[in-house]
Amino acid sequence: MIKVRNLKFKYPKNKEYTINGIDFEIEDGEVFGFLGPSASGKTTTQKILIKLLKNFEGEIEYYGKPLASYGDDFYQDIGVSFEMPISFSKLTAMENLEFFKRLYQRTVDVEPLLKRLGLWEDRDKKAGEYSKGMKIRLNFIRALINNPKMLFLDEPTNGLDPANARIMKDMIREFKEQGGTVFLTSHIMSDVDELCDRVAFIADGKLREINSPRNLKIKYGRRMVKVEYREGGRLITREFSMEEIKTQAFFDLLKEKDIETIHSGETTLEEIFIKVTGVALRE
């Protein structure tokens, strides 16, 4: 669906490239995640893909044709949710959505979306009176208003409470199940881990790794079991590799000791990210 080759981008006042020669492809119907710390180039890449930033170097193809060859009708196919609130503050949520609906050829009924994301009761409230979380939810509905084929989501759950983050993640998954494609940027590891078919690690404008979360864990992770038990009043922690748990020593430990907890110690994406890029996610 999207092919990116040797993409480079430098903001006019910067000396260095914000995006420095990245390559990736997004397949039809997949959720492709961009994981990286602040100012790593995630949002810039998204802005290039949605044609807000134009003076890039390299090649971008959308369905086999250069992205630049698409006119404004490109936007009939995509939905974009920005990280920051993007509503007219003195208009109600409904007025905001009605305005944007009029700009598209095909639109959806917003009532079910507003209801599902808990904004229906507040639909006639001015967007400026919304909390940050409500504004983010309104952004997401705005992105879905034209029944897009592809969604570009920039930190979609950032600022949401866990319940609404759950609803939004369910909706993203349903969008994918219905054939939609998603480009998702985030610094929240759990979102990427849960939602993405493949994830790209970006740091300092370069892609360091692209793979599925599962493959990344297999490739870089430590697969082990952590056991905590009491001995002489002290809490002792021991780690066993997958090979070690088949040994008699492991079974003896379980049998003889006062076991308190047993955890599978799977390496998180965040730990893998740091290992691969040498950069912490929460900068």
Partner 1 sequence: MSRLIPLVKGEFDRLNKYNLFTANFVVLLLWVGLAWFFEGEELKMFLPAVFLLDATMMTMLMVAATLFYEKQEHTLNSIMVSPVSEDEYLLSKIIVNIINSLISVFFISAAVYFIKDVTYDYLKLVPAVIVVTVVHTLFGIRLSYYAKNFTSMLVNFIVYVFLFLFPSLFALLDIIGPEMARFLIILPPEASRILITTIVQEVEPWKLLFGYGYLLSLSFIFYRFIVKPKFNDFLMRETGV
Q: Which of 27, 38, 66, 89 binds partner 1 (CB under 8 A)?
A: 89
CB atoms within 10 A of CB 187: 21
Least Cβ distance, residue 63 to partner 1 (angstroms): 17
Cβ atoms of residues 227 and 237 within 8 Å: yes
90 binds partner 1 (CB under 8 A): yes
73 binds partner 1 (CB under 8 A): yes
Q: Which two tokens stand for residue 24?
A: 């990736």
Alpha-carbon separation of residue 266 from 213, 263, 269 (angstroms):
12, 9, 9
Q: Which two tokens stand for residue 270?
A: 């965040």
Q: Which of 50, 94, 136, 182 binds partner 1 (CB under 8 A)?
A: 50
16 binds partner 1 (CB under 8 A): no
Least Cβ distance, residue 105 to partner 1 (angstroms): 8
Q: Which of 16, 72, 109, 177 binds partner 1 (CB under 8 A)?
A: 72
**3-state SS of the chain: helix, strand, coil percent to 5?**
35, 30, 35
Least Cβ distance, residue 216 to partner 1 (angstroms): 30
What letter does residue 282 receive in the DSSP assignment? Answer: -
Q: Which of 85, 118, 133, 265 binds partner 1 (CB under 8 A)?
A: 85
Least Cβ distance, residue 92 to partner 1 (angstroms): 9
Q: Which two tokens stand for residue 103?
A: 């700009």
54 binds partner 1 (CB under 8 A): yes
Which residue has tokens 């974009």?
80
Size of the site for partner 1 (CB under 8 A): 36
Distance CA(238)–CA(207), nearest Å, equals 36
82 binds partner 1 (CB under 8 A): yes
Least Cβ distance, residue 89 to partner 1 (angstroms): 6
142 binds partner 1 (CB under 8 A): yes
Least Cβ distance, residue 48 to partner 1 (angstroms): 11
75 binds partner 1 (CB under 8 A): yes
- Contacts of residue 232, defined as CB under 8 A and 6 or more positions apart, other chains included, come to none
DSSP state string for 81-100: E-SS--S-TTSBHHHHHHHH
With CB under 8 A as the contact rule, which of the stretches 90-98, 115-123, 156-164, 192-200 interacts with partner 1?
90-98
Least Cβ distance, residue 175 to partner 1 (angstroms): 17
Element (H, E) at 229: strand 224-231
53 binds partner 1 (CB under 8 A): yes
251 binds partner 1 (CB under 8 A): no
- Contacts of residue 116, defined as CB under 8 A and 6 or more positions apart, other chains included, come to 167, 171
Backbone angles phi, psi at 256, to 5 degrees: -95, -25
99 binds partner 1 (CB under 8 A): yes
Q: Which two tokens stand for residue 157?
A: 């759950």
Residues at the interface with partner 1 (CB under 8 A): 11-13, 43, 47, 50-54, 71-76, 78, 80, 82, 84-91, 95, 99-100, 102-105, 142, 146
